[in-house]
Structure 1
Amino acid sequence: MKIPVAKALFNSHSYSEYRKLITDLLLEKKSTGEEQSEDLTHYSELNETRMHRLDKTIQISEDIIQKLKSLKSEYIWLVISEGWCGDAAQLLPIINKMALESGKIDLRIVLRDENEELMKLFLTNKNKAIPILIIVDKETGSVLGKWGPRPKGAADLIIDYKKEFGVIDETAKTNLQLWYLHDKGLSTQEEIINLMQNL
């Protein structure tokens, strides 16, 4: 196992611990991460509401559940996240439900700003984009693959918007949230299960 991965796992949170951490920080008007601002706290509050809703409503398709249950090995899914990240709020409830349905996946979450070494191993176009899902073989501790920070449809939407307008503004962020709403987590489920089956 890579040392940064081992270190991160040692300091990782379960899904419920991660949710509680964000809730507790919000009571102090704070967000996760090194940087603190009204904006980041505001995003964390929105994400808290979003995750509450998705925890209740997100459905894993029967087809995906069967595929998850038929995985041959046991895995750790290590996710790099932060409470203010809009994509993480959309994706973590799906990733959590998939892990629970499988019976073979232990989901652990770490904060990006507390795990610089780990983040540097999983950059996207030289950026610290999150969330990143790292797939670890539970038995050997070896990293088998990664997924993130967004499903392809969401990533393409942002790339196209930036090409056209040169910036990622509030309109782009709204469009992205609408994309997630209409997709209902299906793209994420499909992409992750395909990755798992191809390991």
Structure 2
Amino acid sequence: MNLQEWFEQGLTPEEYIQDMSDHKENLLHVLKNFHLSGDEASLINKLREANWRVIVLTEDWCGDAMMNVPILLSMAKAADMEVRLLHRDKNLQLMDQYLTNGTSRAIPIFIFIDEEGAEKAVWGPRAPAVQEMVTNYRSSLPPRDHEEFEAKSREMMEKLTESYRTDESLWQEVYSSLKTTITERLY
């Protein structure tokens, strides 16, 4: 399938959010509280003129998606950019074309396409500053075979989820990273 066909199979943001069960409230919190700054008019106008669309590979259990998707949706709304979301686990044929480091099915992945369905830019799964934070958290975990690994891993995920939900500086890191990726391909 080409990217145009994948886009057409995707869920609208409203359909995706309605069907969420794991991180719906957290995603809606970020969506409600994240705002583009007023000095983004130039980028938003360029995006609107380019008439790009976005395919999002995601799952609603994913904390990174819970934070990153609403930031993309805010940008897309401002630029009149259509977004379609696909569940990663039901769309592995597409996901496997966008592996992180060639091996990982990490999400979310944002695939920006033009009117003909040609890939214009790809972003995800994390902003560099967020990746650094996650790497630091993970480095403090005991080895996988340690008896406390599962409990400590759950604690780490809870801390990450809370940070993703409430730390607006992380939201700005995601937005800045998205802008950088888009700007490199738009101008």
Say if 2:28 is the partner of 1:52. Answer: yes
Matched residue, 1:38: none
Counterpart of 1:192, as a letter, is L
Matched residue, 1:190: 176
Matched residue, 2:160: 176
Q: Secondary structure of the residue that 2:57 maps to in structure 1?
A: strand
Say if 2:89 is the partner of 1:116. Answer: no
Q: Secondary structure of the residue that 2:56 maps to in structure 1?
A: strand
Work out the CA distance in 2 between the residues paired with 1:4 and 1:128: 19
Counterpart of 2:7, as a letter, is L
Say if 2:61 is the partner of 1:61. Answer: no
Work out the CA distance in 2 between the residues paired with 1:145 and 1:175: 31
Matched residue, 2:56: 79
Say if 2:13 is the partner of 1:15. Answer: yes
State TM-score, norm by structure 1: 0.78
Say if 2:123 is the partner of 1:136. Answer: no
Work out the CA distance in 1 between the residues paired with 2:39 and 2:155: 34
The offset of 1:13, in angstroms, is 0.9
Structure 2 gaps, min length 5: 145-151
Kept in 2: contact 1:65–1:98 (CA 8 A): no
Work out the CA distance in 1 between the residues paired with 2:40 and 2:155: 33
Q: Against the structure 1 CA distance between its residues 53 and 151, is the aligned structure 2 distance closer, same or farther, given a 3 Å change threshold? A: same
Cα offsets for 1:36-60 (capped at 9, x unmatched): xxxxxxxx0xx11112222221111
Count of aligned pairs: 173
Matched residue, 2:137: 161
Kept in 1: contact 2:26–2:66 (CA 8 A): yes
Kept in 1: contact 2:57–2:88 (CA 8 A): yes
Among 76, 94, 107, the alignment partner of 2:83 is 107
Among 104, 128, 133, the alignment partner of 1:127 is 104
Work out the CA distance in 1 between the residues paired with 2:163 and 2:132: 11
Q: Secondary structure of the residue that 1:153 maps to in structure 2?
A: helix
RMSD, matched Cα: 1.9
Q: Secondary structure of the residue that 2:113 maps to in structure 1?
A: strand
Say if 2:104 is the partner of 1:148. Answer: no
Work out the CA distance in 2 between the residues paired with 1:48 and 1:73: 31
Among 93, 103, 117, the alignment partner of 2:70 is 93
Q: Secondary structure of the residue that 1:185 maps to in structure 2?
A: helix
Q: Secondary structure of the residue that 1:51 maps to in structure 2?
A: helix
Structure 1 gaps, min length 5: 27-43
The offset of 1:184, in angstroms, is 5.3
